[in-house]
Amino acid sequence: MQVLTWDKNLLRRLPQVKRVSFDRDLFQKVHRILSEVREKGDAALNRFTKEFDGVDVSAQRLRVTEANVNAAFEKIDTDFVPILKHISEGAERYYQKDLPKSFRIKEKDGVTLAKQYRPLERVGVYVPGGTAPLVSTVYMTVIPARAAGVKEIVITSPPNRDTGDIDPHILIVANLLGVKEIYRVGGAQAIGALAFGTKTIRRVDKIVGPGNQYVAEAKRQVYGFVDIDMFAGPSEVAILADQSSDINYITCDLLAQGEHFGGQIYLVTDSKKIVEQMRRRVEMGIIIHVNNLEEGCNAINEIAPEHLQIMTKKAERWVSRIEHAGAIFLGPYSPAVVGDYVAGPSHVLPTGGTARFFSPLSSSDFVKSSQVIRFSRESLEKSRQFVQKLTQVEGLVLHRISMEARFLRSSQVSKE
């Protein structure tokens, strides 16, 4: 690992630290795919699936059938289903507590203000597949959507090059969670289908789930046609450690995150001993040597990591100092891997420093709100002078007339 001494401008000088960036060549490639899917629909999906996945998926084979799901149950170990049910129950309890609540404020003078939340109607979930299917992504995205009350959840996942089918574990998890629509399509073309719709795949209101750089760029480009969860990049972990931290735990946890393609790993520590040991143990990644843990927290906030493991003595002490992190894991027995699989909260997290302004996927991502406003005639009259002045300043005469019409003598206005 590369060893650096901390100062507040350090990360800005590091070319190897991958932050959110714009790739013109990638943009153009993805734009071409999305444009063709929008124009040619299912035919484009078939062409790109042949080109990128080596699988011929006609419009008739795009959608996974009930028979396909039943066949998947015969291809898995019998202990998989009870494990899934155990994990799902914990996640569902968490996300039921996570939902925002509607409220109503009745003020004096006849003004009532309220906010009501309603679930999105149709959500698309992208599940990476192929040679390394991310089965956990299914329940980490579907469960919060289901807890929010989403009526229609759609999954797209690329078919395996050898079998032409989606991994059976993905199909089973989706089935057990009540997902009725699953399609054999991946990559930027799948995002285009979800955003614009084709003859076979109806468009959705929101797209969530991780993917490679083409999927991430496609989500960026369709944002506005539909909502998305976030702009996700390579996975990353930062570990805050002191002299009490177990060197073997640190080594294993850093290597685990490095297992992801393009994964970024950081170790922030005030221990010279750990610095010397770790620089020889792990090849990739960055060690940031700080003078004390207060400075270490400043370094973490600059990194704004996807996963943060605080493995110091009295780890809880430092949580309040952390301003920017996707998920925070406390103590030696809370490795980031538990968040990937079993803890309950979603592992769909902001990456590339975007934890400064993005949050982890939650139930609230699957609801939208409406503002509810009611004025009585008396309360409108009390606001009359303010509206008159503001419409005068903005030069919007018809806005003022819209209000004044309520007070013309000839108007038949019911006093409510």
- Mean pLDDT calculated for residue range 66-79: 91
Residue 353 resides in a domain? no
What confidence tier does 410 reach under pLDDT thresholds 50, 70, 90? very low
d(CA 72, CA 50): 23
Least confident of 16-20, 83-87, 117-121: 16-20
For residues 158 and 182, state if they share a domain. Answer: yes
> Is residue 373 included in any domain, yes or no?
no
In whole angstroms, how large is the CA radius of gyration of the chain? 26
Are 79 and 102 in a shared domain? yes
| Range from 3-17, 24-38, 48-62 that averages highest in pLDDT | 24-38
Look up residue 160 and give its DSSP letter.
P
Per-residue pLDDT for 9 more than 60? yes
CA distances from 17 to 234, 299, 401 (A): 11, 13, 57
The pLDDT, as a whole number, for residue 319 is: 96
The last residue of one of the domains, among 191, 208, 228, is 228
pLDDT-based confidence at residue 217 (cuts at 50, 70, 90): very high
Name which of 151-155, 330-334, 343-347 the model is least confident about: 343-347
Catalytic residues: 306-307
**CA-to-CA separations, 179 to 75, 77, 91, 297, in angstroms, rounded:** 19, 21, 17, 41
Mean pLDDT for 155-168 is 92
How much is the average pLDDT of 115-133? 89
- The reported pTM is 0.88
Question: For residue 176, how many other CB atoms are within 10 A of its CB?
Answer: 18
Structural domain includes residue 72 = yes
Domain end residue (candidates: 228, 249, 277): 228
Q: Does 214 reside within a domain?
A: yes
Parent domain of 141: 24-228
Closest CA to 55 of 159, 153, 133, 149: 159
Q: State the chain's mean pLDDT as an integer.
A: 90
pLDDT, residue 20, reads 54
Instruction: For residue 360, tell me if it sits in a domain.
Output: no
Residue 367 inside a domain? The answer is no
Q: Are residues 42 and 184 in the same domain?
A: yes
Sequence letter at residue 49: T
- Whether residue 101 is found in the same domain as residue 33: yes
Looking at the 3D structure of the chain, how many domains does it have? 3
Residues pairing with 309 in the sheet:
239, 329
